[in-house]
Amino acid sequence: MFVRRKHNRSGTTSIQVIAKVDGKYRVQKSFGSSRDEAVLAKLEREARQWADEHEFGEALFAPAGAAEYDAIMAGIGQDQLRLVGPDLVYGRLFDKIGFGAVRTSDNDIFKSLVVTRLYRPGSKLKTLRHMAYFMNKFYDEDKIYRYLDELCWRPDARRKAQTYDVKHDVEQVTYEQTKRVLGGTVAVVFYDTTTMYFESREDDVRIPGWSKDGKNANPQVVLGLLVGPGGNPIGYEIHPGNTYEGHTMIPIIEKLQQRFGFPKPIVVADAGLLSKENIRDLEEGGYEYILGARIRSQGEQFKEQVAGLGLSNGQSTSLQITKTRRMVVTMSDARARKNAADRERGLKRLEKRFRTDKLTKDKLNNRGYNRFLTMSGDATIKIDYDKVAKDERLDGYKGYTTNSALPDDRVIEEYGYLFMIERAFRFCKTDLDIRPMYHRLFNRIEAHVCICFVAYTIMLELERILKAAGSGISLDRARFLAEKIYQIDYVNPYDGKRKSVLLHTKEQPEVTELLDIISANC
């Protein structure tokens, strides 16, 4: 048997299998006709395979050569090439942490939204385009928005159908992950808030307020985040944009501590959450705490006491405030230089205002460097340089209010880890583009934050296993490498089997290293 090309009068070419029977060449089977060389090459491969199987039961004909290989490659379409690196890296961690078991109406969509947020964050419409163009995942826009409506929602009497509380399940998974990473229970928690603004109009939840992003004119929401040591997440809450951050801390701590059943932890928070009400509620709830303290906001007698300590760089001591509460005070030369430089800039601004504006009594307050202003007997406002001199005596001092029995150095050390929650906010705002948000409905806002919360947990786990493996690959580098890993899917023309081949730069050993590390830990 052999394969023949027959040129037809119509201009097409037919592919046939010919065999010599009783001394004459007869057509055994026709495989079709075409004018396209790529199609003809495909038909020839099918014809050769059929001829081999029927005559010898095995393949005898080798590819024709470079032309046939060119024809094979010419037949590869965009739908056969897809980006798989994000799924191989982030998708495996999604399942390893346990998010694959979170109950949603469509876990594939949930996973795809999280993975895409990690490697190419953007609006939901941009996300859909990226998934379609690069990952061959096709979702209808309306389906995505319906899914967001179901992913997170607030109880409503109008809704009678039972819906899974995805946020509850996500927080359960992240808490279990945090316990594994910490090797047991959660003994210390860190709490802070940030704001996330919208490029849209305000409503009952999206309300302008004091913005940490400098977007005071934009509607916003307040995000409260509770994490364990190392920034490992435990839970979060979303509040209306004009919510006072001091009122958000106690409820989330009590709710998550009771839900997960871990012992009452030591609560660490910054000075913005230091209020008499919060301290009272923490103490009445049986919580130990370490809160940042503003020494310059204390009474004159206490400030004189601190100024008279005479501490040197790196030294610390405790001043008893009540029977159960003390303030740990530490001294830093670097902080003293910063305090002096900040005050000098503030005084220059005040002095400039004296030359250009007329300062009125409404400026007599303790906001920033207005605390140096005073009013003389003739009702004129002036800078009180005696206050400036007293303020200088407090340069370099930092206070920490606590009711714990921890030694002073441990109090300072634990408070120092508060930067991890600030780092978490930075990850969410820069790497994950959590804001600005373009959603209007509150349940979609919650769904968006939930997706980002899961993505942050995966990002933190990736960083942890890379460090544990002694790898020099950073998070940014891992993202770059993941975007370079593609896969081609094809059907072998000789055996009809579907096959896949990973495509990445062999000269980059980092790609292999990254995939090996992920495979070993998932």
pLDDT the model gives residue 412 = 94
Compute how many other C-beta atoms are within 10 angstroms of the C-beta atom of residue 320. 9
Query: H-type helices in 160-239, by residue range?
Result: 166-182
Q: Is 502 in contact with 485 (CB distance < 8 Å)?
A: yes
| Type of residue found at 296 | R
Residue 255 has pLDDT above 50, yes or no: yes
Phi, psi of 117 (to 5 degrees): -60, -30
Q: Based on C-alpha coordinates, what's the Rg of the chain?
A: 33
Percentage, residues of the chain above pLDDT 90? 36
Residue 468 has pLDDT above 60, yes or no: yes
Q: Which two tokens stand for residue 515?
A: 């995939």
For 214-243, b/e burial (b = at least 16 CB within 10 A) is ebeebbbbbbbbbbbbebbbbbbbbbbbeb
Residue 499 vs residues 141, 161, 286: alpha-carbon distances, Å: 31, 43, 61
The contacts of residue 147 (CB under 8 Å, 6+ apart) are 104, 105, 106, 109, 110
pLDDT the model gives residue 159 = 46
Element (H, E) at 328: strand 326-331
Q: Is 121 in contact with 431 (CB distance < 8 Å)?
A: yes
The contacts of residue 345 (CB under 8 Å, 6+ apart) are none
Q: ∠ at Cα 193 (187, 195), nearest 5°?
A: 155
pLDDT the model gives residue 484 = 87
The packing angle between helices 509-521 and 475-482, to 10°, is 100
Residue 337 vs residues 296, 314, 334, 344: alpha-carbon distances, Å: 16, 14, 5, 11
Compute how many other C-beta atoms are within 10 angstroms of the C-beta atom of residue 62. 8
Q: SS3 for 314?
A: coil
Residue 188 has pLDDT above 90, yes or no: yes
pLDDT mean across residues, the chain: 83
pLDDT the model gives residue 179 = 93
Q: How far apart are CA 295 and CA 293, in angstroms?
A: 6
For 142-151, b/e burial (b = at least 16 CB within 10 A) is eebeebbebb
Residue 61 has pLDDT above 60, yes or no: no
Residue 373 has pLDDT above 70, yes or no: no
Over residues 26-51, the mean pLDDT reads: 84
pLDDT the model gives residue 272 = 80
Question: Which contacts (CB < 8 Å, 24+ apart) does range 451-455 have?
Answer: 451/110, 451/113, 451/114, 451/117, 452/117, 452/428, 453/170, 453/174, 453/233, 453/236, 454/94, 454/99, 454/114, 454/170, 454/174, 455/114, 455/117, 455/118
The contacts of residue 423 (CB under 8 Å, 6+ apart) are 231
pLDDT the model gives residue 375 = 58
pLDDT range class, residue 346, cuts 50, 70, 90? confident
Q: ∠ at Cα 338 (332, 344), nearest 5°?
A: 135
Residue 118 has pLDDT above 50, yes or no: yes
Q: Beta strand pairing status for 81-83 and 24-34? A: unpaired
pLDDT the model gives residue 157 = 40
Q: Which of 49-63, 193-207, 462-476 bottoms out in mean pLDDT, i.e. has the lowest?
A: 49-63
pLDDT range class, residue 178, cuts 50, 70, 90? very high
Residue 354 has pLDDT above 90, yes or no: no
pLDDT the model gives residue 360 = 56
Structure-model confidence comparison of residues 21 and 366, the more confident one: 21
The contacts of residue 171 (CB under 8 Å, 6+ apart) are 234, 235, 236, 256
Element (H, E) at 238: strand 233-240
* Residue 132 CB-half CA count within 13 A: 10
pLDDT the model gives residue 59 = 43
pTM, to two decimals: 0.76
pLDDT the model gives residue 163 = 47
Percentage, residues of the chain above pLDDT 70? 83
pLDDT the model gives residue 75 = 64
> Which residues is 381 bridged to in the sheet?
375
Q: Is 41 in contact with 86 (CB distance < 8 Å)?
A: no
Q: Which two tokens stand for residue 141?
A: 């826009």
- 3-state helix, strand and coil shares in percent for the chain, rounded to the nearest 5: 50, 20, 30
Report the chain's terminal Cα–Cα distance, integer Å: 52
Q: Which two tokens stand for residue 410?
A: 């441990």
Over residues 290-316, the mean pLDDT reads: 91
Q: Which of 11-20, 326-335, 366-375 bottoms out in mean pLDDT, i.e. has the lowest?
A: 366-375
Q: Is 68 in contact with 3 (CB distance < 8 Å)?
A: no
The contacts of residue 24 (CB under 8 Å, 6+ apart) are none
pLDDT the model gives residue 81 = 84
pLDDT the model gives residue 111 = 94
Q: SS3 for 34?
A: strand
Q: Which two tokens stand for residue 45?
A: 């491969």
pLDDT range class, residue 58, cuts 50, 70, 90? very low
Structure-model confidence comparison of residues 425 and 369, the more confident one: 425
Over residues 353-358, the mean pLDDT reads: 63
Hey, where are the domains in the chain? Answer: 2-75, 336-392
Nearest to 118 by CA among 422, 424, 431, 423: 431
Q: Look up residue 58 and give its DSSP letter.
A: S
> 3-state secondary structure string, 451-520?
HHHHHHHHHHHHHHHHHHCCCCCCHHHHHHHHCCCEEEEEECCCCCCEEEEEECCCCCHHHHHHHHHHHH
Structure-model confidence comparison of residues 372 and 414, the more confident one: 414
